[in-house]
Amino acid sequence: MLNSYIFHIDFDCFFVSAIRKIRPNLKNKPVAICKNAMHAIAVSISYELRNLGIKVGATKQEILKKEPKTIFVESHFELFNYVSSEIFDYIAKNISNKIEISSIDECYIDVSHLVNNDNQAKALAKKIQNIILKRFDIPVTIGISNNKFAAKLTTNINKPFGIGLTNQENFKSNFFDLPIAKYHGIGKKIAFKLQQIGINTIGDLAACKIDDIRLDAILGSLTYKYLEVLNPDFTQHISYKDTQPKGIGNEITFNNKFISLEEIQNNLNNLAKKVSTRMIQHNLVGDVLTINVRLNGKKWTNKQVKLNSFTNDYLIIFHNAMALFNDFFEEQLILGIGIRMSNLTSVFDHYQKQSLFDQIQDSKTSYQVQKIINQINRKIKNNITMTMKDYQKKKSQSDFLGEFSQTQGIYKK
Per the CB < 8 A criterion, the answer to whether 19 and 73 are in contact is yes
Measured CA to CA, the distance from residue 144 to residue 141 in angstroms comes to 10
Topology annotation, domain 6-11+79-229:
Alpha-Beta Plaits (3.30.70)
DSSP for 276-312, written as a single string: HHHHHHTTEEEEEEEEEEE-TTS-EEEEEEEEEEEE-
- Rounded to whole angstroms, how far apart are CA atoms 284 and 286? 7
The CA radius of gyration of the chain, in Å to the nearest whole number, is 25
Q: Would you call 384 helix, strand, or coil by DSSP?
A: coil
Read off the pTM. 0.67
- Reference 175, options 160, 153, 192, 194; nearest CA is 153
Q: What is the CATH number of domain 14-75?
A: 3.40.1170.60
50 to 13, 61, 123, 154: CA distances (angstroms): 10, 16, 29, 19
β-strand pairing of 163-165 with 140-145 = parallel
Alpha-carbon span 14 to 84, nearest angstrom: 9
Position 404 scores a pLDDT of 29
What is d(CA 20, CA 27) in angstroms, rounded to the nearest whole number?
A: 6
Is the Cα dihedral 372, 378, 382, 383 positive or negative? positive
Domain borders along the chain are 6-11+79-229, 14-75, 244-400
Half-sphere exposure at residue 237, Cβ-oriented, CA atoms within 13 angstroms? 7
User: pLDDT in tens for each of the 413 residues of the chain?
Assistant: 888 999 999 999 999 999 999 999 999 999 999 988 888 899 999 999 999 999 999 999 999 999 999 999 998 887 888 898 889 989 998 999 899 888 889 999 999 999 999 999 999 999 999 999 999 999 999 999 999 999 999 999 999 999 999 999 999 999 999 999 999 999 999 999 999 999 999 999 999 999 999 999 999 999 999 999 999 999 999 986 655 678 999 999 887 677 888 899 999 999 999 999 888 877 789 999 999 998 876 688 999 999 988 999 999 999 999 999 999 998 788 888 999 999 998 776 665 444 444 444 444 455 456 556 666 666 665 555 655 545 543 443 333 333 323 333 333 33
Q: Are 158 and 164 in contact (CB under 8 A)?
A: yes
Residue 186 has phi, psi (to 5 degrees) of: -110, 120
* 189 vs 185: CA distance, rounded Å: 11
Q: CA-CA distance, 4 to 238, in Å (whole number)? A: 10
CA distance 341 to 355: 25
277 burial type by CB count under 10 A (0-12 exposed, 13-18 middle, 19+ buried):
buried
- CATH code, residues 244-400: 3.30.1490.100
**SS3 state at 164:** strand
- What are the start-end ranges of the E strands in 167-246? none
Q: Reduced to 3 states, what is the DSSP secondary structure of residue 409?
A: strand
Q: What is the DSSP annotation of 52-109? A: TT--TT-BHHHHHHH-TTPEEE---HHHHHHHHHHHHHHHHHHT-S-EEEEETTEEEE
pLDDT value at residue 258: 73
Q: In whole angstroms, what separates CA 303 from the centre of its chain?
A: 26
Alpha-carbon span 259 to 206, nearest angstrom: 50
**How far, in Å, CA of 325 to CA of 260, rounded?**
13
Q: How far apart are CA 67 and CA 246, in angstroms?
A: 48
Cα(248)–Cα(338) distance, integer angstroms: 11
